[in-house]
Each structure stands twice: as structure tokens, then as C-alpha cells.
Structure 1
Amino acid sequence: MSDSEVEEKIFSLFKEFMMGIAKFEELVPMGGTFLNGFQHALEFLQRPPIDKSSELVKNIIQSNETKRVKSYIEAGCINTDDGKHNITKLQSCQLGLHDHICKGKGILNELECLLEDVRGAMQDISLFQDDDLGERLNEQATINDKEEIAMPYPRKNEVSDYAVLMAVIYSMIKQEYMMQERVVSALSLKLSSGELESYCLMWSLRPYIDEEIIGRAWKLVH
């Protein structure tokens, strides 16, 4: 293959890589919906019973002590149908999140394969005899601290920037996936409201993702 053909191949791989990023981006809000659904269902089931130590509450109960009110209080102030509905919701949300993680893992594997293909293509092009490039790609693809991620500076050989940019974005996506995987693995009926709220917040904040970098990558596609 000529240098121009290899360059075209690398750009094609870059576009395919960004399509994979788009697929992962589509999964995130859907997973967030399942996580929020799990949170709401669990908070309903964990709702504390009526505080009977309150004089006001005592008077209200005594003045309205019908069979229906009495059975409701004995049931922990949870309507039977509502309880069943929220248990079912918990189960469906957990299944949805596990499916989300499986799909995310599949996309991550695809991105890794595309990155490897670009590494191989870079070795075939005579214009890029940069001995440090492979090392830089490995470093960017395995970075664990977002603050250490360095965008490539503009260079004469632009095609090498595509490769390094892919490694940078792959590192971010991998870290986010690992966070999501840990969140889903931690879900249980014993979770406190505070813990679950923190998980939902981290999911929505996406702390490992730098939107500016991804935005720059999309501009290269168009």
C-alpha cells in the first residue's frame, strides 16, 4: 500500500472508531434511566414507617383507625400493590443495567481492536518513522488519571494525530466503563440512600469524559 492509501485507511478507521464512540454515548443516558429507576424503587421500599411518637400523628391515627388504615400501618405504610410494583421495577432496572454493561463491554472491545488496527497501519507508512509513537499510544490508552491525558500538539504529519487522539479518547471511555461496571456491581437492597445518590450523580457527571476533546475529534470526522 502507498502512503496515501495507508493514510486513507487510518482516517477510515478513525471514523469507524468515532461511530463506536457514538454508540457508547447513546447507551449512557439509557443506563442512567435504569439507575434512577432502581434508586426510586429502592427508596420507596426503604421508606421509614410512620413515626408514632408524634402526638399529632397519634391523634390522626386514633381518630381514623379504620381497618384499612390499621392494615396499612401494620404493612409498614406500603401498599401491597405498590410494593410488588417496585420490587418488579428493581429487578427490571437491574437487568437493564446488566445488559447495558454487556453492550458497553462489546463496544469497548471494538474500540480497542480499531486502535490496534491503527497501530498496525502506522507501522506500514514510511512517512511516520516515529519510534516514540507506539509508546505514546500505549501510554495514552492506559492512563488512569484524566488530568494526565495530553492532547497531541499540531504536527506536520496530521495522520499521527488521529492515532494519538483515538488513544486519548479510548482511555476516557475505558475509565468511564469501569466506573459504570463498579456501580452496577455494587447495587443491592442494602445500599443507603446517600450511596445510591452518589452513584447516580457520578453516572450523570461523567467525570472521566472531556467533552472538548471528543468535540475536537468529531470536527476531524466532518
Structure 2
Amino acid sequence: MESEEHVLISELKKKILQIFSDFMTRVTQFEELGAVGNRFLVGFHQGLAKCIVNELEVSVKEVTGVMQTASESKPYLMDNVTGEEFGPEATAYDEKPEITDYAAMMGIIYSMVKNDYIMQERIISSLGLKSSSGELESYTLMWSLRPFVNDEIMHQAWRLIQ
């Protein structure tokens, strides 16, 4: 009888050890995924988002400088490139975007993208392994909705290129 108990206890210990081993394997997988996610988000934050936002800012400053130079040095040139040369008989088909439209659109889009980047930066900096599932869901929703980017303005900008 004692040997049956010994065998039963030995089997229970093996079973518990196997369950514990599987449990610890899953904990390790969770920690590894957290580390991979952290490296991904930090890499995204440092590389892609900041670099492109800085490049956009440079472009906005560049177009602002060109516009300012053009208006200061040759004000008549600004009138000639704004579409006024078409005269009163110009039709809607003849109307072309003014150069000021391009500059204004760049400023508006840069502002939207920068606000979106700031939101993403705040989300990334507040994420951690201790973040609740509710927080993660809120962050995911905010990220996917892109509340600072107006799709209609983006469509208008693309139409300026066509």
C-alpha cells in the first residue's frame, strides 16, 4: 500500500512539475514578446516618426522662405502665379491652384502630422508591461482613429498634385 502511495505521489509531482514547466515557458514567451514589442516601438519612435516629421518641418520652412522671398522681391510675380492672369473670362476648368494654396496646405498637413506624432509619442512613452488591457485598448483606438489627421484635407492635397 505504501508503494502505491509513493507511486501516486511521484506521478503527482511529475504532473505538477510538467504543468509548472509549461507555465514558466509561457511566462518566458510573454516576457520575450514584451521585449520585442518594446524594441519595435522604441525603434519606430526614434527612427521613422521623428525623422520624417523633421523632414516635413524642413520642407514647410523651405516653402515659407520661398514664398516670403517671392513676395518681398517681386510682388508682381505673386499676382502672376496666382491665376489672376486668366482674367474674368476664365472658367472653372481653367482655374489652377495658386502657389499660396500649396504653401497653406503644407502648413496645415504638417500641423496635423506633428500632432499625430506627438500623440503617438505619448502613447509609446506610457506603454509598459503593467499597462492595463483597458489602457491598451484606448491607445489602440486612438492610434487607429488618428484624430488629428483630417482625411478630407489629405484628399484635397492629393488633388492639388493631379
Q: TM-score, normalised by structure 1?
A: 0.53
Between Structure 1 and Structure 2, whose CA radius of gyration is higher? 2
Residue aligned with 2:78, SS: coil
2:106 corresponds, among 166, 175, 181, to 166
- Alignment identity in percent? 42
2:78 alignment partner, one of 114, 122, 128: 128
- Paired residues in the alignment total 131
Deviation, 1:171, is: 0.6
Distance 2:120 2:22 in 1: 31
CA RMSD of aligned residues (A): 2.5
Runs of at least 5 residues in structure 2 that lack an aligned partner in the other structure: 1-10, 80-94
Give the structure, 1 or 2, with the largest relative contact order (CA under 8 Å, sep 6 or more): 1
**Which residue, 77, 83, 91 being the options, matches 2:27?**
83
Give 3-state SS (helix, strand or coil) of 1:87's partner.
helix
Q: In the alignment, which of 52, 58, 77 is matched to residue 113 of structure 1?
A: 58
| AA of the residue aligned to 1:93 | G
Q: By percentage of residues, which structure has more helix?
A: 2
Unpaired runs of 5+ residues, structure 1, are 1-64, 130-154
Instruction: Quote how far apart the aligned CAs of 1:78 are.
Output: 6.4
Please state how far the C-alpha of 1:70 moved relative to its aligned partner: 3.3
8 Å contact kept, 2:97–2:160? no
* Matched-pair contact (CA < 8 Å) for 2:42–2:124: yes
CA displacement 1:82-139 (0-9 Å, x = unmatched): 221221111111111111111211100100000000011102223338xxxxxxxxxx
Alignment partner, residue 6 of structure 1: none
Question: Contact 2:34 / 2:129 at 8 angstroms: preserved in 1?
Answer: no
CA distance change for structure 1 residues 121 and 91 in 2, over 3 Å: closer, same or farther? same
Distance 1:200 1:96 in 2: 15
TM-score (norm 2): 0.71
